[in-house]
Homo-oligomer: A and B are copies of this chain.
């Protein structure tokens, strides 16, 4: 009798590394859920099962207890431990009903729809990111764009501040914080901007977010409904256009020239155009700085549409030839500009801190939006950054990087001119960490970028940034993270590859 019962339970052998208790629980539960041990069926007593399986009775008792607590088993006086009767065992997916054909044959069951069909329409847009989900290699290779020189970052200072903030933090400060961000950081940013960007703002207008993408995702949702439109630069930063589309918005591509977004012919005016996204200080990717006239045109356009401008000032701190230009926001008297910056490129990307400066009227709605969609950002990194800014390390680091990146820009331009004549023309570099360059021969810049990647050189095709506006093929090349010797070698490595592309005809 006992042996028969044991066989009927049909427990699989215990896998290595699993405790006896866990194994017994898993096996019994699986047998119940699969119906191998039927509803109403009586289980062996704990003593018997312990003997059969060679485990302690305590182990069996605690497994029975857990399965009772979870509703699989019941203990009844007289009949011991039984599988619960009322249990409908529907855990496993229902099998499609297979209709019988005449003659008793069966059609093969219809293939189930892919679970990806469960994605919503906006889910399908969400599932299509322009950014790499993994970095191809941790160590940046020339000429990967958007890379700060991480070796030049003052890690010792940062770690000292981090250690000090940890020691000083009171446990209370580790509870929930303000939705808009850690107040001393917001104050430090407001002071920095007052000086560096002539933006006259209060700490209350500064909101801390994890990245420019998160900031834009929120601002676009705050200001744009499905079906409404936003102006974006074309070519332009793809992260912006994608978020407009994600929100169900219509993207209006505005052409760009060497001085940024073109305001002539005049920008379209309509009441359903709610937003414009602009990289005014350093157009991404072509590199121009928006002249004052176009800035005023843009502000007048926003007034005419009752729209809002998102000014993405992602690396304007690195302007080599002159002081940074005054921001659009500093020209705005009507609360129409959202100013956005990130520390990813000024300090280091893994920090994941960015900010927006909002017109007064938008501050409280945005704080509520942060609260609803993420509560607030982690406090410890904000505290370290606040100290880093307040104690002058931030300004010093920016000064040093401006010099360093300026030197590298000059080396890069000189080397390209020297080694890549007739192959690639680098557009003027006045600001930032990346250069745009046009191919001197017709072709597909994606093919060229793929050929360069084969040769160990990273380059982003200009068409990555293009939408509907036509333009010549080109590459975006980052110079900031690479020492002059690396830059020279990288340019030298490009020359034969570009030559081969030109020879192959159209890349």
* Residue A484 at the chain B interface, CB threshold 8 Å: no
**Alpha-carbon distance A139/B243, docked complex (angstroms):** 39
Question: What are 11 sample pairs from A and B whose C-beta atoms fall under 8 A apart?
Answer: A66-B322, A132-B176, A133-B364, A134-B178, A135-B175, A150-B174, A153-B171, A213-B375, A214-B373, A217-B372, A350-B380
* Residue A186 at the chain B interface, CB threshold 8 Å: no
**Contact residues of A between 78 and 122, Cβ < 8 Å to B:** 84, 86-94, 113-122
B69 touches A325 (CB 8 A): yes
A174 touches B372 (CB 8 A): no
- Chain B hits for A122, CB < 8 A: 221-222, 225, 247
Instruction: Give the segment of A326-334, A389-397, A419-427, A468-476 that binds chain B.
Output: A326-334
How many monomers of this chain does the complex have?
2
**Alpha-carbon distance A303/B118, docked complex (angstroms):** 12
* Residue A349 at the chain B interface, CB threshold 8 Å: yes
Instruction: Give the segment of A45-53, A161-169, A402-410, A437-445 that binds chain B.
Output: A161-169
A243 touches B367 (CB 8 A): no
**Alpha-carbon distance A84/B113, docked complex (angstroms):** 65
Which of B26, B169, B374 sits near A210, CB closer than 8 Å?
A: B374
- Chain B hits for A297, CB < 8 A: 88, 90
Instruction: Give the segment of A123-131, A459-467, A491-499 that binds chain B.
Output: A123-131
* Residue A368 at the chain B interface, CB threshold 8 Å: yes
**Contact residues of A between 266 and 311, Cβ < 8 Å to B:** 274, 291-293, 296-297, 299-300, 303, 306-308
**Alpha-carbon distance A306/B112, docked complex (angstroms):** 11
- Chain B hits for A57, CB < 8 A: none
* Residue A27 at the chain B interface, CB threshold 8 Å: no
A120 touches B228 (CB 8 A): yes
